């Protein structure tokens, strides 16, 4: 899933300052799971903004709340039309994709990002999310025992560890496991160390000229025509 | 024919001595020039570091040009941290055209340990890929597969870490560097000769020259600092204790003594093919170490 963090309240207040009627728009999918912009966070943020406004003494904004099942999906965006007739701005708590999808749908409506979209990752434990994939477009997890060196090694290097790890931790961050030590240990366990001994050539960045697009090949089975 | 004086030396049976000079964070290079002049005739080659510890400085290639001008033998340290493959290739063309033909291929420290923590880390290549890329240039094409009108030839090396606290994956990487064409290795700092002996039992099966890295410490505090902050470095407790035992102000003298003692043992016992002395900021004491190690006319 996509993981994000809500922006600081002060930044949000600065962004909405020019607008009167503000719709705080949550997203029911990833942003709900990472506690950054689901229904609950929408209502917390609503309260926080209201309180800050009351404290500052000026009644500048009227707030509305709504949460879509998914902001990144046109199927759900249709529901927005009736919700936005009487608002001046949308403060989206969707990820960067959600914000853009809403903006594309509503050409005349300013849309503001309420979260900082951080990475693709997983829930490590309650309240902790870890990055796991950088969408490199050429997945090499087969060769690295299911541990991604591109994401989990700070340098994203492909031929084994740098000289930096100490006690299994990365030179860049003593709290972070060195990805290449993890890869080594798991390959050893799986008796696949030959995979680490292989030479891996430099990455091909051509699959990544931005923005990327994937078109489903209608009428073909999944995986067919990949060659 | 050898591609450099240093490569010729690598082909001999002589004990090899290299050292390194760190360029300044300045446009005034007079101190660096002074260090190079002091060292150029006392060692077989001088590495010029490449934004060591990810701290921005005068560039390695610039320092190498100065070594050349002064009649010394430079080793261009090249990390993959700051340049993509185009920039690395281009710099190698520049180096060769100026007679700089020894290259030490490094992945480079993480940006996070340096003084520009907000910089974009590049790492388009890693050290093994950089070694291979140089061999590709020598075969007449760049990484895009395009022909070079005139072809460079280099003497290439890399680093290895015999004292890593988890050695097996480091040895796999070592094998890959050898297979990629490395002709010499300068090791990370050695603080315990037992680990060098162990490593050499393994490394001696390969046809590659190993120069043991000797870091000159000036105090127990510096040793502890390095243990906590410098990637990979692990100063042994025995050395820390030895440094801690001397009276204040005598630390550097002790550090010189320790370095010289290690170099002497390495040479007398023929533990490896030479040493690479890293005085980190204290370049001017390298001649004292050479003298104390009885290597003056190396
Ligand atoms: S190799 Fe890593 S970054 Fe690339 S697709 Fe696989 S998990 Fe994602
Ligand atoms: S210590 Fe490990 S994870 Fe960190 S940069 Fe080096 S190889 Fe990558």
pLDDT digits (tens, 9 = 90+) for B253-285: 999 999 999 999 999 999 999 999 999 889 999
Assigned domain for B297 exists: no
Cβ A203 under 6 angstroms from ligand 1? no
**In whole numbers, what is the pLDDT of chain A averaged over residues?**
92
Ligand nearest to the backbone CA of A156: 2
Q: In which element (H, E) is residue A151 found?
A: helix A149-152
DSSP secondary structure letter of residue B113: G
- Among A residues 184-223, those touching chain B with beta carbons less than 8 Å apart: 184, 188, 193, 196-197, 199-203, 205
Best probe residue, ligand 2, of A130, A148, A156, A165 (max atoms within 8 Å of C-beta): A165
Tokens representing residue B1 in the block? 């024919």
Is B86 touching A (CB cutoff 8 A)? no
Instruction: Specify the pLDDT at position B27.
Output: 97
Assigned domain for B126 exists: yes
- Contact criterion met (CB below 8 Å) for B194 and B177: no
Average of pLDDT values for B111-134? Answer: 97
> Which of B125, B159, B231 lies at the smallest CB-CB distance from A171?
B231
Average of pLDDT values for B54-63? Answer: 98
Residues in Cβ contact with A175 at an 8 Å cutoff, skipping those fewer than 6 apart: A169
Assigned domain for B298 exists: no
Average of pLDDT values for A65-76? Answer: 94
Q: With an 8 Å Cβ cutoff, are B165 and A163 in contact?
A: no
How many structural domains is chain B composed of? 1
Size of interface A-B (CB pairs under 8 A): 100
Confidence check: pLDDT of A211 > 90: no
Q: Compute the nearest-CA separation of A225 from chain B (Å).
A: 27
Tokens representing residue A209 in the block? 């000229």
The predicted-structure confidence for B64-102, as pLDDT tens digits, reads as follows 999 999 999 999 999 999 999 999 999 999 999 999 999
Instruction: Specify the pLDDT at position B246.
Output: 93
Q: With an 8 Å Cβ cutoff, are B179 and A170 in contact?
A: no
Give A149's contacts in chain B (Cβ within 8 Å): none
- Contact criterion met (CB below 8 Å) for A180 and A149: yes
The predicted-structure confidence for B163-210, as pLDDT tens digits, reads as follows 999 999 999 999 999 999 999 999 999 999 999 999 999 999 999 999
Rg of chain A over CA atoms, in angstroms?
Answer: 22
Assigned CATH for A2-119? 3.40.50
Backbone φ and ψ of B105, nearest 5°: -95, 120
**In whole numbers, what is the pLDDT of chain B averaged over residues?**
95
Per-residue pLDDT band at A218 (split at 50, 70, 90) = low
> Which of A155, A168, A205 lies at the smallest CB-CB distance from B107?
A155
Interatomic CA distance for residues B99 and B76, integer angstroms: 11
Average of pLDDT values for A65-90? Answer: 93
Interatomic CA distance for residues A63 and A24, integer angstroms: 7
Instruction: Specify the pLDDT at position A207.
Output: 67
Q: In which element (H, E) is residue A132 found?
A: strand A128-133
Instruction: Specify the pLDDT at position B231.
Output: 82
Backbone φ and ψ of B68, nearest 5°: -60, -50
Instruction: Specify the pLDDT at position A220.
Output: 52
Best probe residue, ligand 1, of A122, A130, A131, A136 (max atoms within 8 Å of C-beta): A136
Confidence check: pLDDT of B298 > 50: no
Instruction: Specify the pLDDT at position A225.
Output: 47
Find which of B105, B173, B182 to mutate to test the A interface (most A CBs within 10 Å of its CB): B173
Q: Compute the nearest-CA separation of A173 from chain B (Å).
A: 8
C-alpha pair distances (Å), A51 with each of A15, A143, B102: 17, 53, 66
Atom 2 in ligand 2: which residue has the minimum CA distance?
A178
Sign of the alpha-carbon dihedral angle for A89, A94, A100, A104: negative
The predicted-structure confidence for B126-166, as pLDDT tens digits, reads as follows 999 999 999 999 999 999 999 999 999 999 999 999 999 99
Is B79 touching A (CB cutoff 8 A)? no
Is B126 touching A (CB cutoff 8 A)? yes
Place of tokens 């949308």: A90
Strand locations in chain B, DSSP E?
16-21, 45-48, 74-79, 102-106, 155-160, 184-189, 209-215, 274-278
For the purposes of burial, counting CB atoms within 10 Å of the CB of B36, is it exposed (0-12), middle (13-18) or buried (19 or more)?
Answer: buried
CA angle, residues B167, B171, B173, in degrees to nearest 5: 120
CA dihedral B167, B168, B169, B172 (to 10 degrees): 120
- Among A residues 137-166, those touching chain B with beta carbons less than 8 Å apart: 154-166
Instruction: Specify the pLDDT at position A226.
Output: 45
Atom 2 in ligand 1: which residue has the minimum CA distance?
A148
Confidence check: pLDDT of A24 > 80: yes
CATH number at residue B249: 3.20.20.220
Per-residue pLDDT band at A217 (split at 50, 70, 90) = low
Instruction: Specify the pLDDT at position B230.
Output: 84
Tokens representing residue B5 in the block? 């004086």
Interatomic CA distance for residues B38 and B35, integer angstroms: 5
Residue range(s) defining the domain that contains residue B251: 5-292
- Contact criterion met (CB below 8 Å) for B156 and B105: yes
- Contact criterion met (CB below 8 Å) for A182 and A125: no
Tokens representing residue B122 in the block? 């590049």
> Which of A154, A156, A167 lies at the smallest CB-CB distance from B165?
A167
More confident residue, B232 or A22: A22
The predicted-structure confidence for A124-167, as pLDDT tens digits, reads as follows 999 899 999 999 989 999 999 999 999 999 999 999 999 999 99
CA of B181 to the centre of ligand 2 (A): 23
Q: In which element (H, E) is residue B36 found?
A: helix B30-39
For residue A169, which atom of ligand 2 is closest to its CA?
1
Question: Which residues contact ligand 2 via a Cβ below 6 A?
Answer: A 153-155, 161-162, 164-165, 170-172, 178-180; B 110
From-to residues of CATH 3.40.50 in chain A: 2-119
Rg of chain B over CA atoms, in angstroms?
Answer: 18
Confidence check: pLDDT of A223 > 60: no
Backbone φ and ψ of B241, nearest 5°: -60, -40
- Contact criterion met (CB below 8 Å) for A132 and A148: yes
- Among B residues 96-115, those touching chain A with beta carbons less than 8 Å apart: 107-113
Average of pLDDT values for A97-105? Answer: 97
Find which of B122, B137, B166 to mutate to test the A interface (most A CBs within 10 Å of its CB): B166
More confident residue, B6 or A78: B6
| Whole-structure pTM value | 0.93
Interatomic CA distance for residues A187 and A195, integer angstroms: 8
């Amino acid at each position: 899933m996509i993981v994000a963090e809500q922006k600081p309240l002060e930044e949000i207040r600065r962004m909405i300052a020019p607008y009167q009627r503000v719709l705080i728009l949550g997203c029911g999918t990833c942003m709900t799971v990472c506690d950054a912009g689901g229904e609950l966070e929408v209502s917390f943020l609503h309260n926080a903004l209201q309180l800050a406004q009351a404290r500052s003494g000026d009644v500048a904004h009227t707030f509305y709340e709504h949460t879509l099942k998914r902001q990144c999906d046109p199927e759900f965006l249709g529901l927005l039309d009736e919700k936005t007739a009487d608002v001046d701005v949308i403060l989206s708590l969707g990820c960067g994709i959600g914000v853009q999808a809403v903006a594309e749908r509503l050409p005349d409506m300013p849309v503001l990002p309420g979260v900082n979209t951080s990475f693709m990752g997983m829930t490590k434990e309650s309240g902790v999310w870890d990055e796991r994939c950088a969408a490199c477009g050429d997945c090499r997890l087969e060769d690295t025992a299911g541990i991604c060196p591109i994401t989990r090694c700070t340098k994203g290097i492909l031929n084994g560890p740098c000289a930096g790890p100490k006690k299994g931790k990365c030179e860049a961050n003593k709290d972070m496991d060195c990805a290449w030590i993890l890869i080594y240990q798991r390959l050893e366990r799986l008796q696949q160390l030959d995979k680490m001994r292989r030479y891996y050539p430099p990455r091909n960045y051509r699959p990544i000229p931005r923005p990327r697009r994937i078109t489903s090949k209608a009428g073909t089975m999944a995986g067919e025509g990949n060659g | 024919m050898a591609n450099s004086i240093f490569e010729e030396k690598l082909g001999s049976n002589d004990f090899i001595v290299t050292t390194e000079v760190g360029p300044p964070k300045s446009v005034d290079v007079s101190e660096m020039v002074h260090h190079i002049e002091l060292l150029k005739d006392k060692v077989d080659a001088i590495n010029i570091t490449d934004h060591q510890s990810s701290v921005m400085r005068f560039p390695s290639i610039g320092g190498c040009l100065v070594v050349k001008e002064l009649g010394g033998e430079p080793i261009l340290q090249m990390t993959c941290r700051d340049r993509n493959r185009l920039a690395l290739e281009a710099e190698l063309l520049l180096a060769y055209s100026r007679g700089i033909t020894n290259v030490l291929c490094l992945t480079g420290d993480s940006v996070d340990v340096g003084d520009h923590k907000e910089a974009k880390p590049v790492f388009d290549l890693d050290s093994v890929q950089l070694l291979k890329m140089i061999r590709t240039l020598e075969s007449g094409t760049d990484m895009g597969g395009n022909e070079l009108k005139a072809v460079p030839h280099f003497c290439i090396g890399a680093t290895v870490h015999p004292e890593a606290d988890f050695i097996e994956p480091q040895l796999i990487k070592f094998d890959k560097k050898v297979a990629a064409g490395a002709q010499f290795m300068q090791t990370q700092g050695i603080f315990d000769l037992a680990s060098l002996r162990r490593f050499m039992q393994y490394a001696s099966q390969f046809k590659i020259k190993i120069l043991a890295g000797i870091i000159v410490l000036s105090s127990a505090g510096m040793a502890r600092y390095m243990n906590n902050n410098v990637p990979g470095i692990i100063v042994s407790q025995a050395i820390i204790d030895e440094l801690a035992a001397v009276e204040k102000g005598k630390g550097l003298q002790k550090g010189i003594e320790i370095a010289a003692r290690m170099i002497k043992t390495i040479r007398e016992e023929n533990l490896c093919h030479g040493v690479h002395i890293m005085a980190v900021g204290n370049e001017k004491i390298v001649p004292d170490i050479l003298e104390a190690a009885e290597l003056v006319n190396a």
